[in-house]
């Protein structure tokens, strides 16, 4: 790669679309799911759906970490924020995610100490500079962000900090995909796998998708040319009737992944069961802080039981959207009661959310 323009070149895009048209069976519908929220946004931003043949259809999946964060996690974070001397540090896209009855943004407006940071190390610095505050960082994300948050815990330990904690809601993608593919109502011809996550874990953890489920996979980059090339690879696998895990994003992703990042994750975290919005509790799909770092685990240090309340987001179909069972156009709240200014569900809040993509760019 020399310049970003190479991956947005109109002539190359038209050539790839021509190759896709030449490779498909006109009498067959091809349903591909882009797992990553960044893929979803790129598909809509560049109008790729309208460029593809009508029988090549794209579905959005559960690849937005903010979107799949459960109500219970938000409710617990709000309970933390209500405690004396506690400051919540979070990335900005978590502020407006609705819990059962409130959001971090609303609680901050009421006076809770909730601050936006741009790095988990910013939260470590907060704890260092304000020793009288108990700083809880909201650790949300997939394998992509887990190494940096693990590193922040190691950094806090090396500094001897006694007031820095992480509330971990990290999730791992392969187990979620296994749960998703277990839904017999979801008929997929291929998966466009996430480039960011795969930079860390490599391609091997996805092998079961091809071997057990017979579904073609392409680990794909995020520019228009990447995505069209990824789709072409999926179409060709379908035509050959031979499922494989191909790496389209080979300028970044390698089969073995990033070994150093994997070691940091393994040093600090261990697998656990975790709840995904839309998918329920998936065994071993989460990452919890190991006992050796338990002094930095908010769940071990703070005694908080979220109040059991019914969700106030009646009519929200985020759960179905995240499973690929529905689109935002099926939602009665979409663009009426649910907007970016007044989100009723997480899929409208996140910059990678499917509802946000439909709202901003239309049908794509």
The residues near 134 (Cβ < 8 Å, ≥ 6 apart) are 83, 85, 86, 87, 163, 165
pLDDT of residue 186: 87
pLDDT at residue 364 above 50? no
Task: Give the integer Cα–Cα distance in Å for 295 and 217.
Answer: 40
Query: At residue 40, does pLDDT exceed 80?
Result: yes
- pLDDT at position 2, please? 59
Q: And the tokens for 222?
A: 């995020």
Residues sharing a CB contact under 8 Å with residue 236, sequence separation 6 or more, in sequence order: 23
Domain residue spans of the chain? 4-66+174-247, 71-172+257-301, 318-361
Nearest Cα residue to 141 out of 172, 181, 97, 179: 172
- pTM, two decimals, is 0.91
Higher pLDDT, 147 or 350: 147
Residue 362 has pLDDT above 90, yes or no: no
Q: What is the pLDDT of residues 217-239, one digit of tens each?
A: 999 999 999 999 999 999 999 99
- Average the pLDDT over 51-65 and give the result: 92
Tell me if residue 136 falls in helix, strand or coil: strand
What pLDDT sits at residue 1? Answer: 52
pLDDT (tens digit, 9 = 90+) per residue, 127-180?
999 999 999 999 999 999 999 999 999 999 999 999 999 999 999 999 999 999
Read off the pLDDT band of 314 (50, 70, 90). confident
- Smallest CA-to-CA distance from 279 within 183, 352, 359 is with 183
What value does the mean pLDDT take over residues 272-280? 91
Structure tokens at 53: 């043949």
**Residue 343 pLDDT more than 80?**
yes
Handedness of CA 186, 325, 96, 364 (dihedral sign): positive
Q: Could you tell me the end-to-end alpha-carbon distance of the chain, in angstroms, rounded to an integer? A: 27
Q: What are phi and psi of 267, to 5 degrees?
A: -65, -35
Structural class in CATH, domain 71-172+257-301: alpha beta
CATH code, 4-66+174-247? 3.40.50.11750
SS percent in the chain: helix, strand, coil, step 5: 45, 20, 35
In whole numbers, what is the pLDDT of the chain averaged over residues? 93
Confidence (pLDDT) at 76:
94
Whole-angstrom CA distances from 104 to 58, 65, 108, 111, 252 are 33, 17, 6, 11, 35
What pLDDT, on the 0 to 100 scale, is given for residue 289? 98
Paired with 297 in beta bridges are: 166
Token pair 């991956």 is found at 7
**Residue 312 confidence (pLDDT):** 55
Structure tokens at 238: 């379908």
């Amino acid at each position: 790669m020399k310049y970003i323009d190479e991956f947005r070149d109109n002539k190359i895009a038209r050539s790839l679309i021509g190759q896709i048209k030449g490779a498909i069976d006109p009498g067959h519908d091809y349903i591909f799911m882009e797992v990553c929220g960044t893929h979803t946004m790129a598909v809509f931003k560049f109008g790729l759906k309208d460029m593809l043949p009508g029988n090549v259809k794209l579905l959005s999946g559960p690849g937005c970490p903010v979107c799949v964060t459960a109500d219970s996690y938000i409710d617990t974070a709000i309970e933390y924020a209500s405690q004396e001397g506690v400051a919540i540090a979070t990335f900005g896209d978590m502020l407006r995610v609705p819990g059962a009855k409130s959001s971090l943004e609303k609680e901050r407006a009421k006076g809770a100490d909730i601050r936006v940071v741009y790095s988990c190390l910013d939260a470590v610095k907060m704890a260092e500079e304000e020793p009288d505050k108990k700083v809880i960082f909201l650790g949300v994300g997939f394998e992509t962000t887990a190494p940096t948050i693990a590193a922040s815990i190691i950094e806090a330990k090396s500094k001897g900090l006694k007031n820095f904690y992480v509330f971990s809601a990290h999730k791992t993608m392969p187990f979620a995909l296994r749960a998703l593919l277990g839904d017999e109502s979801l008929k997929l011809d291929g998966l466009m796998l996430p480039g960011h996550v795969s930079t860390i874990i490599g391609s091997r953890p996805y092998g079961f998708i091809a071997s057990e489920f017979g579904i073609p996979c392409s680990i794909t980059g995020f520019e228009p040319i990447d995505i069209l090339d990824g789709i072409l690879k999926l179409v060709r696998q379908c035509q050959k009737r031979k499922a494989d895990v191909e790496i389209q994003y080979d300028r970044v992703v390698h089969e073995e992944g990033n070994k150093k990042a994997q070691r940091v994750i393994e040093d600090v975290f261990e697998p656990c069961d975790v709840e995904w919005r839309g998918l329920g509790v998936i065994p071993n799909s989460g990452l919890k802080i190991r006992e050796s770092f338990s002094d930095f685990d908010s769940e071990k240090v703070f005694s908080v039981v979220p109040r059991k309340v019914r969700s106030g987001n009646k009519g929200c179909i985020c759960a179905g959207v995240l499973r690929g069972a529905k689109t935002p156009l099926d939602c009665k709240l979409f663009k009426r009661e649910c907007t970016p200014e007044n989100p009723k569900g997480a899929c409208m809040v996140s910059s990678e959310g499917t509802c946000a993509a439909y709202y901003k760019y239309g049908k794509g």
